[in-house]
């Protein structure tokens, strides 16, 4: 699901995209670091998404379409609204706390804008220093 759905969505969108188009995938910092036991398969799919993004950058660049993967780290969401988990993660984050959805959205908005026109094929990690 983490990879196939993105692949199928990109295939469906491409016939409708022209120069200046942007594809912004949502990955995970786990593409670069599987910090906990049991996350190997999930991490593999997110790593494959980053690889797909790099490969498609070469394929889509001549059409003027840029593609990115945003890789959030630990972020305050309903899915991890567990204080025990947050306490376990905080010491691993250089900035000392979990990210907010608005911070992730800010990066996505930047990538969708003209200022990011010369960026493509990149996996951009936004993790408060989790990987540092």
Beta strands in 1-132 (DSSP E): 22-26, 66-72, 122-126
Residue 48 tokens read as 């494959």
**Domain containing 27: what range?**
4-9+22-126
46 part of a folded domain: yes
Q: Tell me how far apart the alpha carbons of residues 116 and 119 are, in angstroms, rounded to a whole number.
A: 5
Residue of 35, 39, 42, 131 with catalytic role: 42
pLDDT at 51: 97
pLDDT, tens digit, 9 for 90 and up, residues 49-99: 999 999 999 999 999 999 999 999 999 988 878 888 888 889 999 999 999
86 part of a folded domain: yes
- Check if 42 is active-site: yes
17 part of a folded domain: no
pLDDT at 27: 96
pLDDT, tens digit, 9 for 90 and up, residues 87-121: 888 999 999 999 999 999 999 999 999 999 999 99
71 part of a folded domain: yes
50 part of a folded domain: yes
**For position 28, which CATH number holds?**
3.40.50.720
Number of domains in the chain: 1
pLDDT at 20: 96
Q: Tell me how far apart the alpha carbons of residues 60 and 86 are, in angstroms, rounded to a whole number.
A: 39
Residue 30 tokens read as 């786990």
64-78: b (≥16 Cβ within 10 Å) or e: ebbbbbbbbbbbeee
pLDDT of 126 over the 90 cut: yes
pTM: 0.91
pLDDT at 34: 84
31 part of a folded domain: yes
The single residue listed with the structure tokens 């599987």 is 34
92 part of a folded domain: yes
């Amino acid at each position: 699901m983490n990879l196939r759905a993105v692949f199928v969505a990109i295939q469906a969108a491409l016939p409708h995209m022209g120069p200046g188009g942007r594809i912004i995938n949502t990955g995970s910092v786990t593409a670069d670091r599987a910090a906990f036991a049991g996350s190997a398969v999930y991490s593999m799919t997110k790593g494959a998404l980053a690889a797909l993004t790099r490969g498609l950058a070469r394929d889509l660049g001549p059409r003027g379409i840029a593609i990115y993967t945003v890789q959030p780290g630990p972020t305050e969401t309903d899915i991890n609204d567990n204080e025990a988990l947050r306490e376990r993660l905080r010491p691993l984050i250089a900035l000392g706390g979990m990210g907010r959805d608005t911070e992730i959205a800010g990066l996505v908005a930047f990538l969708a804008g003209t200022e990011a026109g010369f960026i493509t094929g990149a996996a951009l990690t936004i993790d408060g220093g989790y990987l540092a």
